[in-house]
Amino acid sequence: MKRPIDEVRVLAERLGRPPTVSELKRYLSPVMLKEIIGEFGTYDNLVGALNEPKPEKIESGAGTNKYRKICSRKEQIQGFFRHVLDLDDLFDRAGNPEILRLVAQPDTHVKFMFEPAVNAFLKFCQWYEPNIHMIMGDFADCEGIAHWEPHNLAPRRIVPEMKIARALLRKTVEHTPTCSTRIYLEGNHEYWIQLAMTRMPEFFDEIEELGIEINLKTLLALEKFGYEMFPLNHLVKIGRAHFTHGIFTQQHHAKKHLDVFKGNIYYGHLHDKQSHNQTSLDGDMEAASLGCLCRLDAQFLKGKPNNWSHNFGIFEFFRDGQYTFLRPDIRNGRLAIMGKIFDGNQGS
């Protein structure tokens, strides 16, 4: 049975530093807090027991990639879940800018990424200096554990791809030093990791006793890079906008997303750019897919034409939750926006 100090150590590891008093109250149960107070008496005694120096006040804004849990409220709406992020907290973490800048990175499929498009995107991020970076899912392809039949005779392995994915995450963090919030939405390809574990449960049985935990967060070291992950098909709400990997796949998928959710929603998954607008008592509503950053000649298409395109999302939020949305085109690895060219063919 874990002692109270062990629970605090887990929280400290997750935050990358000793938790503050307010964070102890936020993340620990009242029973656990009572036990901690009874055992240590003061906050200084507790921090001393962690064998770490007392943390200084956390400065708001950018400059650190240490994992710091996002303030959010999880809601269940009938059969699905929504995470409502605290907009004031996001502004505070970013240093309270006039406008909160978010870049959304759709399906990258790192093993099959189109490097010129990714390079152009990273060059733009370095120039744009976003406050929030959101990975929209299928950042990893996970071909090695795909439930589809393989398209080649190469060994089915996942570790080599995870190494590529970690390298790209590290590069992304280096190009977005101003980000104070990093969000990772799980995609359907990445969900295959859980499916693989259910196919061979006896292979993974008792592996936790070795201190090993196999999931997307550990394989990609997401907390090390400062990303908080949200599960597949969950919605993340920031201001008046909702984000998810993508749920519906029919021809008019943007209309379907809007018909079902009846609110502004942005997603990836389909690799194309499609939009649909409707009116409501709250004003105009929009659903839009954000394209992709992977190759456009997927092996499983066998040379068939498709409507995929290289895009990403830019969102600029006001304090009241309203926002401006842009979906720039990357053509042959080049992006032109606001009179500036970002050429991904010349590396990053």
Here the contacts of 1-4 (C-beta below 8 Å, separation 24 or greater) are 4/32, 4/35, 4/36, 4/39
Q: What is the pLDDT of residues 43-74, one digit of tens each?
A: 777 877 876 444 333 333 444 455 678 999 99
Mean pLDDT computed over 174-190: 95
Across 146-155, 157-166, 223-232, the highest mean pLDDT is recorded for 223-232
CA–CA distance, 139 with 167 (Å, rounded to integer): 12
Q: Is 182 left (phi over 0), alpha (psi -120 to 50) or beta?
A: beta
- In which band, very low, low, confident or very high, does the pLDDT at 303 lie, cut at 50, 70 and 90? confident
d(CA 10, CA 25): 15
Q: Determine the Cα–Cα distance for residues 111 and 143; give it in Å rounded to an integer.
A: 8
Global pTM? Answer: 0.78
Distances (CA, A) of 146 to 119, 140, 142, 196, 266: 27, 11, 6, 8, 25
Average pLDDT over residues 116-145: 94
3-class SS of residue 135: strand
Structure tokens of 317? 């939020």
Share of the chain above pLDDT 90, in %: 60
Residue 317 near residue 323 (C-beta atoms within 8 A)? yes
Stretch among 51-55, 69-73, 183-187, 342-346 having the lowest mean pLDDT: 51-55
Instruction: Summarize pLDDT for 22-44 with one digit per residue, the tens.
Output: 778 777 777 787 788 778 877 77
DSSP state of 60: P
**314 three-state secondary structure:** strand
Q: What are phi and psi of 44, to 5 degrees?
A: -60, -40
The ranges assigned to domains in the chain are 4-49, 72-346
CATH for 72-346 is: 3.60.21.10
Q: Helix, strand, or coil here: 106?
A: coil
CA-to-CA distance for 292 and 212, rounded, in angstroms? Answer: 33
pLDDT score for 12? 81
State whether residue 238 is helix, strand or coil: strand
Q: Give 83's contacts (C-beta < 8 A, 6+ positions apart).
A: 72, 73, 74, 75, 230, 234, 235, 236, 237
- Per-residue pLDDT band for 202 (boundaries 50, 70, 90) equals low
